[in-house]
Amino acid sequence: MSQQRSKSPYRKNKKSINSLEKQNETDPYADIPTIGTIEINSVENHDNTTSEEIFTTLRVNRKNNGDINLKCKVDTGAQSNVLPIHLFRVLYPELINAEGMPRDGALQRSDVILTAYGGSEITQFGKILIPLTDAVGPAILGIKTCRALELVSLHCALESKSVQGKNVSRDVAQGSSEEEVKPSKSVRFADQAKIINQQQNRSRSYIKPSVPITSCPRIKDKEHLIEMYPECFDGSVGCFEDYTYHITLDPKVKPVVHASRRVPLELVDKLNFELNEMEKNGVIEKVTKPTDWVGLREKPNGRLCLCLDPKDLNEAIMRDHYPTPTLEEITPKLAGARVFSKIDARNGYWNVKLDDKSSYLTTFNTPNGRYRFLRMPFGLRMSQDVFQLKIDETYRNCRGATGIADNITVNGGDESNHNLHDAMERTRMAGIKLNQEKCIIKTSECSLLGMVYTSSGVKPDPEKVIAIQNMETPKDKKELHTFLGMVNYLASFMPNLANHTAPLRELLRDNVDYQWSPSHTRAFDILKCQISTETTLSYYEQSSCATSRRIK
């Protein structure tokens, strides 16, 4: 059995492809196989039913054993032609040894790695320029051969469609309804092939939800992760579909209505854009009926960032008290970790739906009228509690995964990445969408809540160290409070902190005037010097106490 090259895949009105010489390697059809003389007799549905599987019969001309029919499955998603071992035994019994396996020298060695849909690897024995596998089922004709034999043809157009304010193009199969297909321009055959190849490349890496975690291939990098789980990075607003939250109010608190805030003229267009985007994404909705609670606060941050001014509403909300993990709880869990990844939930609180009654409580006023949040907004006193609860439910019992608000860290002791696959599958099933830009995959260290976690321990985030080092002498009690707050956050890395901060804390007493002296300057400089010295705190282990060591 040998594979040779077909010179012209475009020959029309011919039902056979004869053996020809090998073409240039750059020919896109250079790997089209021919088996002696192949004749196409028919293309039919499997068992003459309406099944989506399509088969064709190829006539194989064998020199020594006569002609034989080979029924092949047409698979336009396959990149290679695959011949199972049991069919090879039928085609070429003289090449099979007593154990039923190919004889030595019957096949050429192949370095091609065959993967099934979902990423699991298929064992192959070799090639007669066509990979030979131990899979069961029919022979498979890949897309290139199907096109060369004129079993399939590509008819594509590009459709421009607006998605979340951006124009994107997608390929559309010919024959769709007029509402779906509105070609903006014609596409050359080469462009069609490029589009199809891009789809096939995605499909080879894509991990189906049904694939067991232990069968998933290793994740190479962030781009590979996105190809495996594209639903998590599609730029849409996520949603916990099986959960709707109800805001409980204290009936003793009276409702408050605020007038619309004035918006600077230069921000009006940005405000309108953000409102339209949020409305299209199902985050807010226009309100026409009277409501009891109304408020708004706008602040520019690159794009305009909209959030409620919920001071009055927060006084009435009866909070759900749910704990957020602390650094003391997280750090011991990272002992033994060597590989770190961090995924970031996009539009965190917006993943939580509000019931209708609660939604009207979030009504806010704008120059364009009133709107209400359909999703849980930022700024409500219970938002962090509710979102943390859903994050914990999503990643509970996920080995190596820890979620604090919208930051989910995943660690493992080696490169296996099975922990990350488990976390990603839970992310997909929960409906959470991720920020591609903020995700960090397979690194030797990971920053979280002002700390940097490594294989050897935890150390302060360099950015926080620099911020403290660059602070100027406090001019009043408020600035001193800020400085001491930053220092106390990193207290684990500063021995004898209480002794060094004692002179400064004296200035914060209510009955003491703020008078800065040289002694205060010395204490201030010592603290800045201590935190500027890189220190690593070892992970706590049950067999030993947590210790700190300085790295010079």
pLDDT, tens digit, for every residue of 463-494? Answer: 888 888 899 999 999 999 999 999 998 888 88
How large is the average pLDDT for residues 96-101? 86
All domains in the chain, ordered by first residue: 37-149 (no CATH), 244-455 (3.30.70.270), 458-530 (3.30.70.270)
Q: Which of 9-13, 142-146, 172-176 has the highest mean pLDDT?
A: 142-146
Whole-number pLDDT of residue 293: 52
The predicted model gives 434-448 an average pLDDT of 89
| CA 409 vs CA 105, 219, 286, 504, 523: distances in Å | 51, 16, 37, 37, 37
* Bridge pairing between strands 407-412 and 339-344: antiparallel
The model's pLDDT over 201-244, given as tens digits with 9 standing for 90+, comes to 455 788 888 888 888 888 888 999 999 999 999 989 999 988 99
Question: What whole-number percentage of the chain has pLDDT above 90?
Answer: 22
Name the amino acid, one letter, at 327.
L
Q: CA 524, 530, 531, 532 torsion: positive or negative?
A: positive
Is the distance from CB of 41 to CB of 67 less than 8 angstroms? no
Residue 348 neighbours by CB under 8 Å, 6+ apart = 387, 405, 406
Q: Quick check: 226 and 202 in contact, CB under 8 A?
A: no
Residue 13 has pLDDT above 50, yes or no: no
Quick count: other Cβ atoms within 10 Å of Cβ 72? 23
What does 341-389 look like in DSSP terms, one character per residue?
Answer: EEEEBTTGGGGSEEPHHHHHHT-EEETTEEEEESBPPTT-TTHHHHHHH
Parallel, antiparallel, or unpaired: how do β-strands 121-122 and 114-115 relate? antiparallel
**CB-CB contact of 34 with 19 (8 Å):** yes
Give me the mean pLDDT over the 341-346 stretch. 92
In this prediction, residue 462 carries a pLDDT of: 87
The pLDDT value given to residue 333:
82
Task: Tell me which of 81 and 160 has the higher pLDDT.
Answer: 81
What pLDDT score does 550 carry? Answer: 47
3-state secondary structure of 467: helix
In 451-528, the DSSP E strands lie at 451-454, 458-460
pTM listed for this prediction: 0.59
Residue with tokens 């990643």: 395
Predicted pLDDT at 30: 38
**Between 21 and 49, residue with greater pLDDT:** 49
Helix/strand/coil (H/E/C) assignment for every residue in 224-276: HHHHHCHHHHCCCCCCCCCCEECCCECCCCCCCECCCCCCCHHHHHHHHHHHH
Position 218 scores a pLDDT of 86
Per the prediction, the chain carries an average pLDDT of: 74
- Most confident segment among 174-188, 207-221, 256-270: 207-221
DSSP letters spanning 162-223: EETTEEEEEEEETT--TTT--EEE---HHHHHHHHHHHHHHHHH---TTS-GGGSPPP-SHH
The per-residue pLDDT for range 56-93, each reduced to its tens digit, is 877 776 767 777 778 888 877 777 788 888 888 888 88
Rg (CA), the chain: 32
Q: Does residue 83 contact residue 132 with C-beta atoms inside 8 Å?
A: yes
Instruction: Please check whether residue 548 is in contact with residue 340, taking contact to mean a CB–CB distance below 8 angstroms.
Output: no
User: Among candidates 516, 478, 160, 546, which has minimal Cα distance to 335?
Assistant: 546
Question: What pLDDT sits at residue 151?
Answer: 65
At residue 292, the pLDDT reads: 56
Report whether 135 contacts 39 (CB < 8 A).
Answer: no
Q: In whole angstroms, what is the distance from residue 425 CA to residue 408 CA? A: 13
Residue type, 465: V
More confident residue, 17 or 541: 541
- The CA distance from 363 to 287, in Å, is 8
**pLDDT computed for residue 24 by the predictor:** 41
User: CA 516: distance to chain centroid?
Assistant: 52
pLDDT digits (tens, 9 = 90+) for 301-326: 455 666 667 788 888 899 888 988 88
How much is the pLDDT for 343? 93
